[in-house]
Structure formats: C-alpha cells, structure tokens
Structure 1
Amino acid sequence: MVLGLKAMKNILLFSSFSILLLFSCDKTIEEFDESKYGYDYFPLSVGNTWVYAVDSTIYDDEGATIYNTSSFVQEKIAGMYVDDTGDTIYKLERYWRTSDSMDWEITDVWTTYKTQAQAFRTEENLKFVKFVFPMLEGKRWNGNLYLDETTIVSVSGESLIMFAGWDDYKCTSLDVAEEIGGINYSNVATILQTDDGGNNTVERRYALEKYARGVGLIYKEYEILDTQNSQSEAPWSEKAESGFILKQTLIEHN
C-alpha cells in the first residue's frame, strides 16, 4: 500500500512537470506595442505648439443680437512640473488674435497631463477626461467625471448650465483617414462628447472633438444653445436665444 502511494505521487509529479514544461516551451514574450494604446493621439512635450482657426456665433438679448466672430487661438506647452502624486503636469499657455497682422495676446494658462489610462485637461478650473487608453472604437467613459453638472458658464454675460445631462463620451471612429481644414490625416479618432439628438426642445447640447495620431486635437465643434420658444420648429441657428456655436480647426502645428 505504501509503495502504491509513492508510485502515484511520482506519476503526479511527473505529469505536473510535463505540463509545466509544455507551457514553458509554448510561452512567448509579446513586446509592448504603444501604438495599440493610442498614446500618440495625445502628444505632450514642452515646446509643442498648435494654432487653430476659430469661428463662433454667440446669441444674446434673447436671440435679438447675434455675434459672428472669427479669430485664431495658439496653444503652447510652455513648461512642466511633477505634482505630489508623481504625475508630470504640462503648462498650456493660450494666446488669441483676430488676424495674422496682430501680435499674439496671452489669455489663459491651463494644464494638461496623461497617465497610462487617461488623458486630462483643465480649462478655466474645469477638469475633463479627454481621452482614455487603450482607445477602442465604441469605447465610452465619463469625460465630465470631475465636473458639477450645475456648473454655470458665462457667455457674453448670459449664464448657461452647460454640462447638465451630457452623455458619456464615446469614440465613434478610430484610425480613419480624414481631410480637415485642408490637411490630410492618416489616423483620426472622433470623440462624441454629447448629442441630445435634437430631442430637447429648450436646450441644444452637442460637442465633438477629433484627434490625430502624432498631432493631438485637430477639430472641435460645440453647439450649446438655450431657448424658451419650445414650440418653434425652426432650426436652432434661428430659434436660439442664448448660447453659442463654435468650430475650431487646426491650421498649423509643430
């Protein structure tokens, strides 16, 4: 009986060793492929500069006054530091002018950074989760995680509760070739931040951003509009009483 147990133990040990040896032989080491994660959709380095053409329409005085403006915005990563949690934070200086003949005028200093899982941007003390890694088509996340939905944004003296009821952000397409602003990009990711689909009769909330590999943000489009004229079937561009429409297109970067 004792010999039988020893024999059985030897057989079990031999079988376990054989299985381990088999898996060890078949196991291969896969190298980390950073491109699959999409980190290059959100490049951050000191000295990076982006110039955008911005067209906006602002609605005021219950829709009686409409301002159409065109301008240019330059964003430049001017420095970096490591915060208490060990994250590398980049200082993003923003400049504005209305024509090429004008000097750039600094308007804001924002911050941006990314981790292995997410990319963040703080604008006017509002923190957004702009991108997530790895990025996949159809992926959703709460881009306004750090915002209070009741946050009031002032536009031309009008107060807007801009972020109430926003959807989860969603990657609607990834690594698609697109021509935007006269520039051809081989790999573009489209992030739909929110879209009420026109189902809300008193508010219009639509926000979309596009990013290109190795470049970053290349296009932004917002429709943030309010009206009390809920019975009107006119398009929002006509019935809006407050809010704005904005289109921002990259025209130059380094």
Structure 2
Amino acid sequence: MRYQLSFSIFLFICLFVSCREVENPRTDFGRDYQPLEVGLFWIYEVEETIVFGENDSQTEEYFIRDVIEYSFFNVQEEEVFVVRRERSQDRSSWEQFSGYSLHFRGNALIRNLSNQKIVNLVLPVQVGRNWDAMVYNNLPSDIFEIAFMGDATVGEQFFQRSVKVLQEEDDDEITFRDNRYEIYARGVGMIEHYYEVFTYCSRNDCLGQMIKDSGRKTHLKLSTYGRI
C-alpha cells in the first residue's frame, strides 16, 4: 500500500512537471551570446598585418570601438541594430571608419557588412553544429561550425559560458592560408575575432616556401564593454 501511494505521488509530480513544461516552452535559446540594445558598446585591441607583396608588409596596433547607434524594423518586421565602428590610436579620440548591422532571424544571428549578410551564429549553441554562413547571399557556401563551448581567456580577462565559432581552418602550405574564427561570451557578445587569409608565392623559385605575397591578418581582442 505504501509502495502504491509513493508511486502515485511520483507519477503525479512527473505529470505536473510535464504540464508545466508544455505551458512554459523553452524560450531562452541563448540570444544573449550577442546582446543587442541601443547604447551598448565594445572596445577591442587590434593587431593587424597587411602583406602587399613579398618582403613588403605593414603591422600596426590600434583600437576599435563598436557602438549600437540605433535600431529599426525591416520589411520582415525584424529589429535591426545599426553598429557604428570607430578607430583610435589612444582610446581618447575616435573616428568613424565603417559600420554594419546585426539582427536575429529566428535563431540565426546575421551580420550585414557592405551588403553581405553573414550568419555568424546559430542558436541554441551545440558543439559540432554547423551551417552555411552565406545562405542569404548569392555566393559559394561557407560552412561555420561551433568548435568549443566553455571558459575562454582573452588577454587578461576570463569569460565563462563562451562559444567558439570556427569559420575556416585551412593551410595547404603551398598556395594559401585561411584561418578564421570568432568567440562569443554569454551576456557579453563577441570577445575575440581572428582573421588570417594569405596567399603564398607560387613561382617555381619560391613554391612551397610559404612566402606570403598578399593578404591580411587582423586580430581583435575585447578590452572593455558596457553602455554609453
């Protein structure tokens, strides 16, 4: 009798919890991996190397500040957030030099830069999940993949609940190198951006020597963030 009563109570609890889950379906898919709100800003330390030709390159360090300036609703009734990108050498004097927009389409985070829409993140995050980042462009597919979830250290800062999106990792050591990734931290946004795309000299006298003859390496690391 006691066993039957205990089992009945257990069954009732299970049914109650199940009903609660149906009444309150999961709505937190992790959109705060990239918070979107007017007034938010992120400042990044940047190290950039541009290769113009063999033995001809330029390396510089500077700062980038991304500020969500305003938002609007597009024809799909999605709220689009417009980001102003500024540059500085000393973090005291800023000059705007580009911009882009961010918005969610369903559970996909889309960045629109120079009229090219790139799906930077797909929610909910899960290691091994992949997608075509160029699905909204008339361009060849470019598969991004979630390669890591967990803690991340950027500079001297430690971030929990981070996710690394591997965009490309390829180097044939003969003609080209293409390494790209971004890391997002929940409640913060993008904390690191790495872009390294080079071509190697392919003449007979330098083939296979991995001599860079064109391309760029740009590395952004989050310095500070907040609200203006």
Aligned partner of residue 81 in structure 1, secondary structure: strand
Shift of 1:167: 4.6
Letter in 2 for 1:253: Y
Q: Answer yes or no: is the 8 Å Cα contact 2:48–2:59 preserved in 1.
A: yes
- Equivalent residue for 2:145, pick from 165, 170, 182: 170
Task: String of CA shifts for 1:80-138, please: whole Å, max 9, x gaps.
Answer: 1111110001111110112234x100112311111332110111222100111111111
Shift of 1:221: 0.7
Shift of 1:227: 2.3
Q: Provide the residue aligned with 2:160 in structure 1.
A: 186
1:204/1:187 Cα in 2 relative to 1: closer, same or farther (>3 Å)?
A: same
Letter in 1 for 2:147: T
User: CA separation in 1, counterparts of 2:41 and 2:220?
Assistant: 15
1:132/1:59 Cα in 2 relative to 1: closer, same or farther (>3 Å)?
A: same
User: CA separation in 2, counterparts of 1:55 and 1:225?
Assistant: 16
Shift of 1:146: 3.0
- Equivalent residue for 1:244, pick from 189, 205, 216: 216
Shift of 1:72: 0.6
Shift of 1:202: 1.0
Q: Provide the residue aligned with 2:172 in structure 1.
A: 199
Structure exhibiting the larger radius of gyration computed from Cα positions: 1
- Equivalent residue for 1:47, pick from 28, 39, 52: 39
Percent identity between the aligned chains? 23
Letter in 2 for 1:178: A
Aligned partner of residue 29 in structure 1, secondary structure: helix
Shift of 1:232: 4.0
Shift of 1:233: 4.1
User: CA separation in 1, counterparts of 2:187 and 2:69?
Assistant: 18
Aligned partner of residue 19 in structure 2, secondary structure: coil
Q: Answer yes or no: is the 8 Å Cα contact 2:111–2:120 preserved in 1.
A: yes
**Structure with greater proportional strand content:** 2
Q: Count how many residue pairs are aligned between Structure 1 and Structure 2.
A: 209
User: CA separation in 2, counterparts of 1:80 and 1:100?
Assistant: 25
Q: Provide the residue aligned with 1:9 in structure 2.
A: none
Q: Answer yes or no: is the 8 Å Cα contact 1:77–1:90 preserved in 2.
A: yes
- Equivalent residue for 2:194, pick from 191, 215, 221: 221
Aligned partner of residue 241 in structure 1, secondary structure: strand
Shift of 1:213: 0.2
Q: Provide the residue aligned with 1:142 in structure 2.
A: 132
Q: Provide the residue aligned with 1:160 in structure 2.
A: none
User: CA separation in 1, counterparts of 2:197 and 2:89?
Assistant: 23
Q: What TM-score does the superposition give when structure 1 sets the normalisation length?
A: 0.76
